[in-house]
Amino acid sequence: MKRMKTSLAFSAIVILFFQYCVNCKIAGASHRFDSSQTYSGNSTSEIETALNVTAEAVIGNIVRAEKKFAKDNIYWETEVITNSGSSLKLNIDISGQRIFGIKSEDGPFDYELIAGENLISFSDAKQNAESTSGSKVLKWKLVETKSGLQYHFWIFTKGGAAQFKLDAATGERIMKKSPKKKK
């Protein structure tokens, strides 16, 4: 029974624990990944794609890669520890070879991140949020919505923590929707 539970856990979700120094097209860190290996029945090209997309987005050590299954979506979640010690979780769509979500709950947020083509940089979005609010960012995430990718920043205000949203393509602040009129 124990063996069956273990095999089910590994066949449902693949978890890789390793230190992976990222390089690709950014900075000069060493980049080592043995492409001849396969991991729990998953093709090497899938894991390589997830690692390469992550490496192109942020500089740091990739410490975890996990295949996730949502309704009609199979994606990879990678976790990166940046050089300053911050932790980021990136959600990567393998078929589109793109990032569709990022989450970071611990600072310092002093890294650069390139989430995709034609998107404003993370540092510009963070600077916009902090200069508009006059406070430091507590945590942030990048989410995919019907209208596109958005940066969401949580900032401490006098009334508590507030959420500050920016369109990731234009950098424009997204205000709360006005309430719908009753018919």
Over 70: is that where the pLDDT of 97 sits? yes
Q: Under CATH, what is the fold of the domain 118-183? A: Nuclear Transport Factor 2; Chain: A, (3.10.450)
pLDDT of 22-53, one tens digit each?
Answer: 333 333 333 334 333 334 445 568 899 999 99
Here the tokens at position 142 are 């990048």
- Percent of residues, the chain, with pLDDT higher than 70: 70
Mean pLDDT of the chain: 76
Q: For 9-13, 105-109, 135-139, 178-182, which range has the lowest pLDDT when averaged over its residues?
A: 9-13
What pLDDT band is residue 134 in, cutting at 50, 70 and 90? Answer: confident
Instruction: Measure the CA–CA gap between 155 and 54, rounded to whole angstroms.
Output: 26
Over 90: is that where the pLDDT of 7 sits? no
Q: Under 8 Å CB-to-CB from 39, ≥6 apart: which residues?
A: 14, 16, 47
pLDDT of residue 179: 55
Over 90: is that where the pLDDT of 135 sits? no
Over 60: is that where the pLDDT of 138 sits? yes
pLDDT of 51-73, one tens digit each?
Answer: 999 999 999 999 999 999 988 88
| CB-count burial class (<10 Å; 0-12, 13-18, 19+) for 35 | exposed
Domain boundaries for CATH 3.10.450.40 within the chain: 118-183
SS3 49: helix
